């Protein structure tokens, strides 16, 4: 039986992709299946937390003991996260949030035309960055999906977004990152903290990640 190390804690997890609408029938998105985020929420609930899962559109069912809030766009995800942030103890940003969205959403289906076409994109708000500015007591955990320079980009994100941990996956590696049932990550934290995990099922990895973070966050509480 696992120890209930998160009893009395509120854990907010984001998962899945966002959808940024182009017109009534089209959107921009990415390959996130939600598996990693759902595993994080499920692990938090199994460890005794009040687990809130803020999820983009995916085809997974709600893990036992988890409260799911479904959202579509980056803007909706931001709103849902903000609503739970003040009372959260841990916030885990596993979602693959769109960095850009179409500047205008067409009211009608865009018809095809001769020659090239383009869509003007504008930046979305970076949710993790926003939370980093507002943080009081919350432990803020981001993920980083990179295809190159993994450690450099992950460390940059840790600093820039004022996160406590960045969990980096090299998504160019087979069986890691998007869509797979397994993942292999390196966790970066303040004061040059760095810990590598072996390749393993996302469910098992989620438990090990919480174990590690709880251990580091409550060093005197043993
Ligand atoms: O869902 P799966 O198929 O299981 O795949 C898992 C995963 C690969 C999506 C996951 O493990 C992962 O790496 N998630 C983060 C993906 C990502 O968008 O990384 P990023 O480097 O673009 O963003 C860094 C961090 O900033 C992330 O915590 C992200 O949630 C956050 N962010 C990014 C943009 C934005 N507008 N708001 C954000 O909060």
The reply to whether 192 sits in an annotated binding site is no
Contact 179, 203 (CB under 8 A): no
Nearest CA to ligand 1 atom 35: 126
Q: Name the pairing type of β-strands 90-93 and 10-15.
A: parallel
CA 59 to chain centre: 16
Residues 6+ apart with CB under 8 A from 220: none
Question: In the 8-state DSSP scheme, what is residue 182?
Answer: E
Which residues form the catalytic set? Answer: 30
Alpha-carbon span 28 to 86, nearest angstrom: 30
Task: Kindly give the pairing relationship between strand 100-102 and strand 90-93.
Answer: unpaired
Tell me the C-alpha distance between 76 and 170, whole Å.
27
> Three-state secondary structure along 12-53?
EEEECECCEEEECCEEECCCCCCHHHHHHHHHHHHCCCEEEE
Residue spans of the domains in the chain: they are 10-101+121-217
- pLDDT for res 71: 98
- Ligand 1 pocket residues where CB is under 6 Å: 32-37, 74, 93-97, 99, 124, 126-128, 142-145, 157, 169, 171, 177-179
pLDDT digit string (tens) for 120-178?
A: 999 999 999 999 999 999 999 999 999 899 999 999 999 999 999 999 998 899 999 99
pLDDT at position 220: 66
Whole-number pLDDT of residue 3: 75
pLDDT digits (tens, 9 = 90+) for 75-109: 999 999 999 999 999 999 999 999 999 999 999 99
Q: How many CB atoms lie within 10 A of CB 151?
A: 15
CA 34 to chain centre: 9
Q: Mean pLDDT throughout 4-16?
A: 96
Q: How far is the CA of 139 from the centre of ligand 1 (A)?
A: 17
Q: Which fold has domain 10-101+121-217?
A: Rossmann fold (3.40.50)
Helix axis angle, 127-134 to 74-85, nearest 10°: 20
Contacts of 35 (CB under 8 A, 6+ apart): 60, 179, 180, 181, 202
Q: Which pTM was predicted?
A: 0.96
């Amino acid at each position: 039986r696992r120890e209930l190390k998160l009893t009395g804690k509120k854990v907010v997890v984001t998962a899945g992709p966002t959808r940024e609408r182009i017109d009534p029938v089209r959107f921009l998105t990415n390959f996130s299946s939600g598996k990693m985020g759902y595993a994080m929420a499920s692990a938090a609930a199994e460890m005794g937390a009040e687990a809130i899962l803020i999820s983009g559109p995916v085809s997974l069912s709600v893990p036992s003991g988890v409260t799911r809030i479904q959202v579509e766009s980056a803007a909706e995800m931001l709103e849902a996260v903000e609503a739970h942030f003040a009372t959260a103890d841990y916030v885990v940003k596993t979602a693959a949030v769109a960095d850009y969205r179409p500047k205008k959403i067409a009211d009608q289906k865009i018809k095809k035309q001769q020659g090239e076409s383009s869509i003007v994109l504008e930046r979305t708000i970076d949710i993790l960055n926003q939370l980093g500015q507002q943080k009081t007591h919350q432990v803020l955990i981001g993920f980083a999906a990179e295809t190159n320079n993994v450690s450099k980009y992950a460390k940059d994100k840790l600093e820039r977004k004022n996160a406590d941990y960045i969990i980096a996956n090299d998504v160019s590696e087979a069986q890691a990152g998007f869509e797979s049932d397994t993942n292999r990550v390196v966790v970066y934290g303040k004061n040059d903290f760095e810990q590598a995990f072996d390749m393993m099922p996302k469910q098992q990895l989620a438990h090990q990640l919480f174990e590690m973070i709880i251990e580091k966050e409550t060093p005197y509480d043993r």
